[in-house]
Amino acid sequence: MKRLSLVVALVLLVSLAAGQDQSTAAAVKAVRCGALIHPASGQVQHNVIVIIQGERVRDVLENATLPAGAAVIDLSDHTCLPGLIDTHTHTLLQGDITAADYDEQLLKQSIAYRAILGTRSVRRALEYGFTTVRDVETEGAGYADVDLKKAINNGVIPGPRMRVATRAMDVTGAYPLSGYAPEVPVPHGVQIVDGADNARKAVREQISYGADWIKVYSDRSYFVRPDGVLDDIPTFTMDELRAIVDEAHRQRHKVASHAIALNGVHNSVEAGVDSIEHGNYIAEEDMKAMVQKGIYYVPTIYVGEYVAQGRAAAGAKVWVEMLKIHGETFRRAVHAGVKISFGTDIGGFDWGITPAVEFPYMVKYGMTPMQAVRSATTTAAEMLGMQNDVGGISPGKYADLVAVKGDPLADITLLQKIDFVMKGGEVYKAPGH
């Protein structure tokens, strides 16, 4: 009697253990990569197996045998790298070469419709291999970026991890829509704020509605001086800019500053923003201050190429002149050791184009391919304060992993052909699909 119950108990135990094994095995995935790029160290591992449990990476093994029972994804003819990060997107904007393109979206499309288009933008971002984005303002679509982020996090729609800036800020008379009759009220692409107190209030308001970052427009009206310096008209006073930065930092949020030329960049650096967006021209002294203060540079080179001819045809030739200046500034920044975070301004150009078109420009203007990849992974993750979760493939981080055929370090344009995308252990795109 006693002996029999022991046998029954043993059989029970064994079957329980087997059952447990099966359920654990179901949650484990193994991705076999022909090569794996580690942007932080600059190392490339070959014949690697990435073990994923749930949302996160459990192990990275070289020349190992596959764990029994794991679901295997074979990318042995691919190069794997961490999910890419674009730190300057506009998911709610669908291209604006001319003022008319922009006005049409704000005047003729409801925010609801723009949000529907936004769901397409975020899906495309993910399919291009960008598993994290910082969206730096909705261009008149209110707080719809907070809702896109929420819908992605709740599993309603596919999309990247998002950090959002909501409405952004500029002063009266500086931001479109503009040029309409004074008696016709028109929407603006930003929240208009004047005066330090109002600026502080706007920061509080935007954060209360879900802004992760605060975005400001620090300059406008660009022109090339005879000495070759790209000059501008600053928007905010130093008082206003300092109030915005102080209020955002008090609440442990960061500030991104659109600053294309001399004064916009200088004032932003003085005020202590966290990132300079575009930075077509950065004076030598300001570049030194950026290195010293750890301010990131988000250059967005490709969008300049994209809009230049159209804007020149509409009378603004400066956009063509700015391209050359931008390339030189980027080269100086690489040399000076400024922290450069990958960003494209996609939405300013068509979402039918992959943000990866930015990479060849970064290489053309002085980065190695590895530096360019690092900028879109390690550095971007650090700027976002997400370095423990994204930007690398190592145990404990999210299983955000993309892959291409061939070697993107030999041909950086291959990153425009990402054909495998995994985010948080879920496959969103697989070769042949």
Question: Where along the sequence are the contacts to Zn ion (CB under 5 A)?
Answer: 345
Minimum distance from CB of 345 to Zn ion (Å)? 4
And the tokens for 10? 């043993």
103 or 345: CB nearest Zn ion: 345
User: Alpha carbon 223 to chain centroid distance?
Assistant: 29
Strand partners, 30: 51, 72
- 27, 54 contact by CB (below 8 A): yes
181-187, long-range: CB < 8 A, 24+ apart: 186/106, 186/107, 187/106, 187/107, 187/140
How many of the other CB atoms lie within 10 Å of CB of 246? 17
User: Alpha carbon 109 to chain centroid distance?
Assistant: 25
Minimum distance from CB of 90 to Zn ion (Å)? 6
176 or 425: CB nearest Zn ion: 176
Question: Please, what is the angle between helix 302-313 and helix 318-336, to 10°?
Answer: 160
Nearest residue to 127 (alpha-carbon basis) of 420, 432, 426, 431: 420
Residue reference for tokens 């998911």: 91
161 or 215: CB nearest Zn ion: 215
Q: How far, in Å, CA of 430 to CA of 433, rounded?
A: 6
89 or 375: CB nearest Zn ion: 89
Minimum distance from CB of 92 to Zn ion (Å)? 11
SS3 label, residue 424: coil
Minimum distance from CB of 19 to Zn ion (Å)? 53
345 or 358: CB nearest Zn ion: 345
Minimum distance from CB of 176 to Zn ion (Å)? 13
SS3 label, residue 268: helix
Minimum distance from CB of 327 to Zn ion (Å)? 19
User: Alpha carbon 161 to chain centroid distance?
Assistant: 9
274 or 345: CB nearest Zn ion: 345
Residues in the chain, total: 433
- Which residues does 131 contact at the CB level (< 8 Å), separation at least 6? 83, 84, 85, 160, 161, 390, 400, 402, 421, 423
Cβ-closest position to Zn ion: 345
SS3 label, residue 172: coil
Minimum distance from CB of 395 to Zn ion (Å)? 35
- 10, 2 contact by CB (below 8 A): no
Element (H, E) at 222: strand 219-224
SS3 label, residue 171: coil
67 or 142: CB nearest Zn ion: 142
Minimum distance from CB of 139 to Zn ion (Å)? 8
Minimum distance from CB of 198 to Zn ion (Å)? 23
285 or 350: CB nearest Zn ion: 350
149 or 215: CB nearest Zn ion: 215
Minimum distance from CB of 336 to Zn ion (Å)? 24
Q: How far, in Å, CA of 88 to CA of 133, rounded?
A: 7
- Which phi and psi (to 5°) does residue 346 adopt? -55, 140
345 or 389: CB nearest Zn ion: 345
